[in-house]
Structure 1
Amino acid sequence: MDLRKLPALNALRTFEAAARHESFSRAADELFVTHGAVSHQMRALEEELGVALFVRTGKRVRLTDAGNRYAKSVRAALMTLADATRDVRSGERTRRLVVSSSPSFSARWITPRIGSFMDRHPEVDLDLLSTNALADFSRDDVDVAIRYGRGNYPDLHVELLLDEVAFPVCSPRFNGGQLPKTPADLLHVPLLRSDTDLWRPWFEAAGLPDATEPRRGVLFDDSSNLLLAAGDGQGVALARSSIVMQELVAGRLVRLFDVEAASPWSYYFVCPPPLLTSARVQAFRAWIFEEVKRFRAVYEQTCGGVRSGVNESGPLAPAAVKGRPSPSDVR
């Protein structure tokens, strides 16, 4: 084939992002361009190929059958280019390990433990990339991602790392030390709000089906800031076990009640299949799964006992929770 007849690489990258999201707006955000630029590029690509790639309905788009087939081929080709680029970047790059995760998980779960990995593997130069943006392995210089979602990540190696539950926490000094004694008492105190962990499923697990989501007060989009506010005595927070455990062990926060709500999302270990066999990725994978085992032991020691609203297969087992919005992956 005459390579001069191929569409421009930039147009193919834009198409891959638009196809993956089935949204020109999300593709534009990911590529740091305008919605209009993505729309213009996609129309130009369709004209060049002589086939419709998207069906446009108002502000929404979806792939045609031809667009879906083309997206799979383009994604595979871009992944091959990304792998080839990694191979060319030899030398120091083979020592460098780039791990992407959300700021809260990186700060509250990985960072307190990462010293043991560095002691065990001084030959690895580790970069922790803390971002709420979804790592694009075909474009970003990332080896491994820890993603919080449902685990549906096509064409990637995906392993369940850690299931998640949430429960109320507050400062031991909250309300002058007069802490809520029953779940119903929470209806009369300030509840801190988060854009990822909602109170409604916990209320249902606690036997309060008529309780509503709090509508007033600050809305925190970062779990670390949520816990800082709780530690400052500003109210009661609904916290994920993986994010709050260090605060509980240190006594800066205390858990309220034996009720927890299982999250419909989990943490996943994700990487491109060709990278899974690399020494640096294998080293990190072995380390983080060992740390998860230790975390579960600490969880049982700190939060053990009879708990309501939890699947019988374990305290961190996932359970379906209705009425929840989808996270942006990664959170």
Structure 2
Amino acid sequence: MRNPTLHDVARAAGVSYSTADRVLNRRGGVAEKSVLRVQHAIDELGYQRDIHAANLSRRRSYVFRFYLPQGDHSFFTVLRQVVEAQAAQRLAERMQIQIHDVPPLDADALAAELSRIEAGDCDCVGIIGSDSGALTAAVERLQAMRIPVVTLVSDAAVEARMLYVGIDNVAAGRTAGRLLRLAHGRGPGRVLPILGALASRDHRDRLKGAHEVLTEPGRHLHLLPPIEVQDRSDILRQKLAAMLAADPQITGIYSIGAGNRALIAMLRDMPTPRPFVVLHELTAHTRAALEADLIDAVIDQNPDVEITLALQAMKAIADELPATPPEVNPTIYLRDNLPR
């Protein structure tokens, strides 16, 4: 059985094809009673619009903007490369993808950049942000201008954004906690969390997940207070060195953020046996650290998949189609299962 066409809708509503088309595309100039007849015919026939064909006929193009943290940060460098590659590939689909730089872990600076956007500048915005009133207000302003916002990697401005595309960070933290627990067997241990900023929802959620697993009754693991390093190498070196000197019994390290170069460099100089180390994101540096047996496990959120799903969601939102949160499943990499 063939799908109903717009000609079928026009015939059932008793109007011309051009009138049905005007109603469908919300171009106005149609009497209210005709609008109601067309809408009733659409519902009765189960007509579904072919968005792709409609966009081709109208030569529709899209403008999507990504606001990405800048700086010497391996994961965000990989993420940027993925977005740049997608930008080149999607030109044939009439999709213009723009990248704007923002300081890492600075929600107010991101809010200031978003405030520069004016109505009609783009169809949808993708951001990586932290919780702040200024950011929520900036996202609410964009929504009021009919420019939806999608959050990536870490959810933020939950009350105002349209959709979150990323891994379940509580589950990721629980996974890290489970790996650390397995590494300790049933013996005692002291686990040190390192995070970028508690203002980042993904860091808070991962810490929460790890805490849930590591502090379950009957275990002899102690989760130490996290050190907050703002994803800065100098702060990490200073705080981690002080913590290791003050507590030489640390047996596990969970690096919750993704700025791991300084940590890896410090692990290289640690005496053996070193702590069991779990961190996030497979980059050139974390791959090399796994291969050199400086760390034990990497939880990767698959940035290629994440950006592909984000673009699919952004296009659906721009086409006014339903967009449900896509499922992004992280991968656990050990020294033995690294991809080529």
Higher relative contact order (CA 8 A, sep 6+): 1
TM-score by length of structure 1 reads 0.36
TM-score by length of structure 2 reads 0.36
Question: Which protein shows a greater Rg?
Answer: 2
